[in-house]
Structure 1
Amino acid sequence: MKFKIISVLLLLAWSPLLRAQIDLAPKPIDSLLPNAKEIVRVERIKIRLNSNTEGIYSYRKVVTVLNNNSTANTIYIGYDPETPISQLRANLYDKNNQLLRKIKKEEFEDYAAVDGFSIYQDSRVKVLNLNHTDFPFTVEWEYEQKLKGITLALLPDWDIQRYGTAVELGELSVEVPLNTQLHHRSVNIQLNPVVNALKDGYQQYLWKVRDLKAVKEEPYSPHYEQVLPQVQLAINSFQIASYSGSMSSWKEFGRFMASLYQGRDELPLELKNELNTVLNGAKNNAEKVERLYRYMQGKMRYVSVQLGIGGWQPFTAEYVHRNKYGDCKALTNFMKALLNYANIKAYPVAIQNTDEAPRVFDENFVNDPGFNHVVLYVPSEKIWLECTSTNYPINYLGESNSDRQVLLLNEEGGQLLRTPVLSSKENREYWRAEFRIDAEGKVENSARADFYGANHELYRALKESLAAKERKEWLEENLHLALESLDSLQVNYQKDRAEASLSFKAALSRMGSRSGKRWFVPFNPLNPLTKAPAKAENRLQRVVNRKAYVQESDLSFTLPAGYKVESLPFSDKKLESPFGQYEVKVEQLGDKILVKRRLQIEAVNLPATEYTAFSNFYREVAKWDGTKMVLVSDK
């Protein structure tokens, strides 16, 4: 599902744009240059709420782009029929702040903001690519946009800085009627608004910042909202179509979201008759849940339609039954209706589906939560259901939904929960492989691998989504082997468990490298750890690694005729740390070299002072994974 949450810069001029020279200091303040990719010279945002149904969001920005690492030379503006754009203008200036050209509104390209699953969506985006590389240069732009519907309910936050962005002057002004309660908080910065009573019956909240140095992005950092300064906003009450809602608490927001599902779970008679057959003989509720989940998976497909409040409100269960498709919220509502028919209570759960670090919620402050997906929770059985998947096992949400805060939607009030963690115990892979090396350097290889938890998802997708030829092509490109041919390829998964398997036979053109009489053969050619966290002096941010997993392998190398072992890298090696464990054993039995390897990576959230030790552990693993056994010719 894609909620219609539009993250945009919405702009209004406080001064005319169309001029030959911009009114700025000749160059940015020198103290703002370190770590900066761009410097915001001026940013002014103004929000004026006319009522709890509509408002105006205005924005003006002047930014000096310092180098090619900046993304500020591309402008994105999202909109839809309820939030049209007006007064759109832009100018481009050289390093001396002299006007290079006036940018016409027509130069902004206009795209439908749809995903690959949507058949129709009314969100759009205007994009301007400046394609200017004579650094430094300055771009100035402004426009105005209506706030209405979901965009009003989820007031845009003020992201004061991005990574690599310094700020000379920033200002946020929010004007609300005196009877409107504005919720706000500052994050990662000590910043309080000046509150002014305006003559027209409005109250103004005004925030200002000056001379903020750029924040350097660091590897393995927390979610950016735990690092970068921000002002978060929410209004106490809002109105979308005929639905009233509140952002005063998660309980109230969850109650509003649940109200959008009311009356949309009625099932037609012919479906009820079909469900009677599906449920016949089920011994308990857990079995009923599984039968109905499998029924839904076999009948429905994921297709998204996002229009107006439909970004939050699902299609009716009858619509999904008749058309055999729906987006995540519609399929979740359909599954909820099936369970309700079986007298099993289940609740939609709003979630942020992402492979990156998810947002961390403040239990006492509600703002745009970034929800973009919905799953289903069955409390009585403690079962989670990913309703958009046609092949996931029951009670498996997938890595991009695991271990994050979510909002259970209940007409009696929302509730913050946390989805299950996928630990190293669940996320495993086990490889068995033989490498038979001949004297010419070619290798016959046979391998089998079993994958579990998050590690299995790729292979389930390969089996389900790609034809056999495409699967083979993908593996040929992604295996760490010098393939001449790939044969007897099998990819399978277990329907009822988070497990998958891969097996193949391969002919390799080479193994390692040769120099004179010596042959250098890697002891772990299948899945070596090759990338370690970059070194970082004066680390500032906490160290966060979210994925835990275990890799195990049993490998056998048959020596080529005429060669013997000159040296092995080690007989055994063991590393232990809070970040993970690594163990490898190498031994020779006749003409075979046997390698047993085990790598366990732990999920961590550590102080910045631990980063060097964290990085060093990975570097040690990469070093030992990269070592080679040395064979020597007896000729």
Structure 2
Amino acid sequence: MNVKLITLSTMLCLGGLTAFAQIDLAPKFIDSLAKNAKEIVLEEKIKIRLNSPAEGLYTYRKLVTVLNNSSKANAIYVVYDAETPVSQLKANLYNQFGILVRKIKKEEFEDFAAVDGFSIYQDNRVKGMVITHTEYPFTVEWEYEQKMKGPTLALLPDWDIQHYGTAVQSGELVVEVPVTLQLLYRSVNIDTKPSINTLKDGYQQYTWRVNQLKAIKEEPYAPHPDQVLPQVQLGSNTFLIANYAGSMSTWKDFGRFMASLYRGRDELPSELKTELDAVLAGSTTNTEKIERLYRYMQGKMRYVSVQLGIGGWQPFSAEYVYRNKYGDCKALSNFMKAVLGYANIRAFPVAIQNTEEVPKTLDEKFASDPSFNHVVLYVPAEKIWLECTSADYPINYLGEDNADRQVLLISEEGGQLLRTPALSGNDNREHWQAEFNIETEGQIVNTVKADFFGANHEIYRALKGQLAAKDRKEWLEKNLNLALFSLDSLQLNCATATAQASLAFKAELSRMGSRSGKRWFVPFNPLNPLTKAPVKAEDRQQRVISRKAYVQESELSFILPAGYQVESLPFTEKKLEGPFGKFQVNVVQEAGKIQIKRRLQIEAVDLPASEYAAFSNFYREVAKWDGVKMVLVK
């Protein structure tokens, strides 16, 4: 790949971003940095100046060459609110020859509400821009300043030196703090240390520089990016947010600060106490009390995401939730904590990263931005976890996206890192029983019963609780792996006390498999075949992470059409076994019937990179044997 890059000296000057009608080119850098790269950062300069524990200034400049359409470096989004306004926002676009194509001013940037898809109220807004150009490569300059106040002082922005597919020619981070403040910092996945100088104005200056960093290729089933990509993580031993003082010196300190935001917000009105007395009447154990109060909250309150005030960190009071009958994750957890407190049961809010991706790993010795985006509740004495935003989860079930990850228990005594319970393969199991009555004319009458547990039951609980019967049926018709002609006698039920759902239906299928002359090719597993496998990859670099363990069991009966007999079966038994899982299929042929028992057990794994090929091959083998067909002949 032979692409020309713009030289730095003609692009940036100390006074700010300066655009030139034409600029010099420097093709010599590209060959060493282009491999695996989607973009090359020619220069990035970030400066953070903390004026006090209560406010600071963030200055950002970046010159980046976009190499192809898989890059996102041609876009910028800056989140702000009334306390953290953005200024000096501008951009320039240069073509592959270094000629200025366009100057972009602040007024041209889009400005829109930071809608996350589920919050109905938010303080945050976004200034954003996507720059497009018809020919690659092209180069973009970004520049802006932003006032720092509120949560950005507690969670100082880390320097993400590289993203996947980003090569860096030159990068610099400068942090200036008053000598009375202590800057907390560490480098992750890179060996770089700051130079430290004392300035004449009484500030301590820390400077990190990097040069000539090759792009890191993104790989499937990899660890969290924070375990792979280079970063400089920052924190402050003292910050002040809306008159609440805190520290990121330790997780204990940060948890104590978070607890101060909850202080005094657990008072209950007298009429609520009367209701709670009725709910608790006759209960004898703490577990029974917890379940009753949890069901009370689920039945009376609804989840509404409201990201307002102090970065969305401080909950509405328990009385507010009671009066309005709604709250976000913080408010509902705080309400539940308050009503449990009324029953003399001590509970604690827990900050958590709710994500279906690999969650961030937290270092117990260094408190950094934890990427928490959710709050649940924990009752230590009973070892019970409560997902307070769910209207129908059983007690002590948090859901797949909250399972097996580090969390911060929030307490006046200080924060404590814990880990939520993992869901094992046996927890996440499903069992199918199905009969396929294949008629001579080609129609198939299908009867199905299935039970789902743990993570595998969640979608069915959501269907039951959130969709009308007509919509549930339409969803199943679309998502079942069957050529449905009709779907009848549909029953979907969810257990109250356990993470379990059951599904039953009768269906008429328009087809199954394919026909050729007098032969009929019928799939062994028409219900839930494994069809996707990890892609092949050479020169794997990262560890192999697969977090979900589960078990699928199927008992399938095929009633053969009159006049047909089995000409061939691919096998009568198949077994695969390894550290990634187990797969077993047994086939029994009887008069006019084929019975198949299938069991797939997938393990959660954390393996060295050298195991990726075997990991991928296991799934490919399962997919191959799941896709085989029996041959019927007249």
Output the TM-score relative to the length of structure 2. 0.96
- Deviation of the 1:469 alpha carbon: 1.4
- Deviation of the 1:43 alpha carbon: 0.8
One-letter amino acid of the structure 2 residue matched with residue 316 of structure 1: S
Residues 1:422 and 2:448 are matched in the alignment: no
Q: Structure 1 CA distance, aligned partners of 2:631 and 2:183?
A: 70
What SS does structure 1 have at the residue aligned with 2:388? coil
- Aligned twin of 1:8: none
- Deviation of the 1:74 alpha carbon: 2.1
Alignment of 1:160-179 (within 5 A): 160-179=161-180
Residues 1:386 and 2:387 are matched in the alignment: yes
Deviations 1:103-162 (A, max 9, x none): 232332122113344332110112212232411111111000011001121101011111
Q: Structure 2 CA distance, aligned partners of 1:136 and 1:239?
A: 44
Checking the alignment, whether the CA contact within 8 Å between 2:17 and 2:143 is kept in structure 1 is no
- Deviation of the 1:504 alpha carbon: 1.3
Deviations 1:543-568 (A, max 9, x none): 00000000000001111222211111
- Aligned twin of 1:213: 214
Residues 1:495 and 2:496 are matched in the alignment: yes
Alignment of 1:65-464 (within 5 A): 65-309=66-310, 311-464=312-465
- Deviation of the 1:206 alpha carbon: 0.6
Q: Structure 2 CA distance, aligned partners of 1:14 and 1:344?
A: 60
Alignment of 1:539-554 (within 5 A): 539-554=540-555
Checking the alignment, whether the CA contact within 8 Å between 1:17 and 1:90 is kept in structure 2 is no
In structure 2, relative to structure 1, the CA distance for the partners of 1:280 and 1:115 (3 Å cut) is: same
What SS does structure 1 have at the residue aligned with 2:296? helix
What SS does structure 1 have at the residue aligned with 2:222? coil
- Aligned twin of 1:4: none
Deviations 1:477-505 (A, max 9, x none): 11111111212222211111100111111
Q: Structure 2 CA distance, aligned partners of 1:13 and 1:219?
A: 41
Output the TM-score relative to the length of structure 1. 0.96
- Aligned twin of 1:567: 568
In structure 2, relative to structure 1, the CA distance for the partners of 1:24 and 1:332 (3 Å cut) is: farther
One-letter amino acid of the structure 1 residue matched with residue 504 of structure 2: S
In structure 2, relative to structure 1, the CA distance for the partners of 1:317 and 1:515 (3 Å cut) is: same
- Aligned twin of 2:586: 585
- Deviation of the 1:440 alpha carbon: 3.0
Q: Structure 2 CA distance, aligned partners of 1:505 and 1:14?
A: 73
- Aligned twin of 1:629: 630
Deviations 1:24-81 (A, max 9, x none): 6257421111111111111110001101100001101111111111112222111111
- Deviation of the 1:296 alpha carbon: 0.6
What SS does structure 1 have at the residue aligned with 2:542? coil
In structure 2, relative to structure 1, the CA distance for the partners of 1:355 and 1:133 (3 Å cut) is: farther
In structure 2, relative to structure 1, the CA distance for the partners of 1:434 and 1:269 (3 Å cut) is: same
What SS does structure 1 have at the residue aligned with 2:17? coil
In structure 2, relative to structure 1, the CA distance for the partners of 1:630 and 1:562 (3 Å cut) is: same
What SS does structure 2 have at the residue aligned with 1:232? strand
Checking the alignment, whether the CA contact within 8 Å between 1:434 and 1:557 is kept in structure 2 is yes
Checking the alignment, whether the CA contact within 8 Å between 2:91 and 2:105 is kept in structure 1 is yes
- Deviation of the 1:468 alpha carbon: 1.2
- Aligned twin of 1:599: 600
One-letter amino acid of the structure 2 residue matched with residue 400 of structure 1: D
Gap runs ≥5 in structure 1: 1-10
- Deviation of the 1:441 alpha carbon: 2.4
What SS does structure 1 have at the residue aligned with 2:262? coil
Deviations 1:492-525 (A, max 9, x none): 1111110011111111111111222222111001
- Deviation of the 1:13 alpha carbon: 7.5
Q: Structure 1 CA distance, aligned partners of 2:46 and 2:608?
A: 35
Q: Structure 1 CA distance, aligned partners of 2:577 and 2:547?
A: 19
What SS does structure 1 have at the residue aligned with 2:295? helix
In structure 2, relative to structure 1, the CA distance for the partners of 1:132 and 1:256 (3 Å cut) is: same
One-letter amino acid of the structure 2 residue matched with residue 90 of structure 1: A
Q: Structure 1 CA distance, aligned partners of 2:473 and 2:93?
A: 49
What SS does structure 2 have at the residue aligned with 1:260? helix
Q: Structure 1 CA distance, aligned partners of 2:549 and 2:179?
A: 51
One-letter amino acid of the structure 1 residue matched with residue 315 of structure 2: P
In structure 2, relative to structure 1, the CA distance for the partners of 1:247 and 1:238 (3 Å cut) is: same
Q: Structure 2 CA distance, aligned partners of 1:308 and 1:21?
A: 47
One-letter amino acid of the structure 2 residue matched with residue 64 of structure 1: T
Q: Structure 1 CA distance, aligned partners of 2:24 and 2:409?
A: 50
One-letter amino acid of the structure 2 residue matched with residue 251 of structure 1: K
One-letter amino acid of the structure 2 residue matched with residue 70 of structure 1: S
Residues 1:617 and 2:633 are matched in the alignment: no
Deviates more, 1:164-173 or 1:70-79: 70-79
Q: Structure 2 CA distance, aligned partners of 1:572 and 1:549?
A: 22
One-letter amino acid of the structure 2 residue matched with residue 88 of structure 1: L
One-letter amino acid of the structure 2 residue matched with residue 603 of structure 1: A
Q: Structure 2 CA distance, aligned partners of 1:440 and 1:59?
A: 70
Work out the percentage of aligned pairs sharing the same amino acid.
Answer: 73
Deviates more, 1:512-521 or 1:34-43: 512-521
What SS does structure 1 have at the residue aligned with 2:289? helix
In structure 2, relative to structure 1, the CA distance for the partners of 1:171 and 1:601 (3 Å cut) is: same
- Deviation of the 1:274 alpha carbon: 1.1
- Deviation of the 1:475 alpha carbon: 1.2
Q: Structure 1 CA distance, aligned partners of 2:489 and 2:450?
A: 14
- Deviation of the 1:286 alpha carbon: 0.8
One-letter amino acid of the structure 2 residue matched with residue 188 of structure 1: N
Deviations 1:203-257 (A, max 9, x none): 1111111111111111100000001111100011100111100000001110110
One-letter amino acid of the structure 2 residue matched with residue 192 of structure 1: K
Residues 1:506 and 2:507 are matched in the alignment: yes
- Deviation of the 1:606 alpha carbon: 0.8
In structure 2, relative to structure 1, the CA distance for the partners of 1:451 and 1:97 (3 Å cut) is: same
Checking the alignment, whether the CA contact within 8 Å between 2:151 and 2:311 is kept in structure 1 is no
- Aligned twin of 1:515: 516
- Aligned twin of 1:64: 65
What SS does structure 2 have at the residue aligned with 1:204? strand
What SS does structure 2 have at the residue aligned with 1:381? coil
**How many pairs align?**
623
Q: Structure 1 CA distance, aligned partners of 2:134 and 2:223?
A: 32
What SS does structure 2 have at the residue aligned with 1:380? coil
Q: Structure 2 CA distance, aligned partners of 1:39 and 1:78?
A: 24
In structure 2, relative to structure 1, the CA distance for the partners of 1:368 and 1:196 (3 Å cut) is: same
In structure 2, relative to structure 1, the CA distance for the partners of 1:318 and 1:339 (3 Å cut) is: same
Checking the alignment, whether the CA contact within 8 Å between 1:12 and 1:142 is kept in structure 2 is no
What SS does structure 1 have at the residue aligned with 2:233? strand
Checking the alignment, whether the CA contact within 8 Å between 1:552 and 1:596 is kept in structure 2 is yes
- Aligned twin of 2:7: none
In structure 2, relative to structure 1, the CA distance for the partners of 1:202 and 1:23 (3 Å cut) is: farther
Q: Structure 1 CA distance, aligned partners of 2:69 and 2:225?
A: 22
Q: Structure 2 CA distance, aligned partners of 1:12 and 1:472?
A: 63
- Deviation of the 1:14 alpha carbon: 5.0
Q: Structure 2 CA distance, aligned partners of 1:542 and 1:185?
A: 23
In structure 2, relative to structure 1, the CA distance for the partners of 1:585 and 1:529 (3 Å cut) is: same
What SS does structure 1 have at the residue aligned with 2:598? strand
Deviates more, 1:549-558 or 1:560-569: 560-569
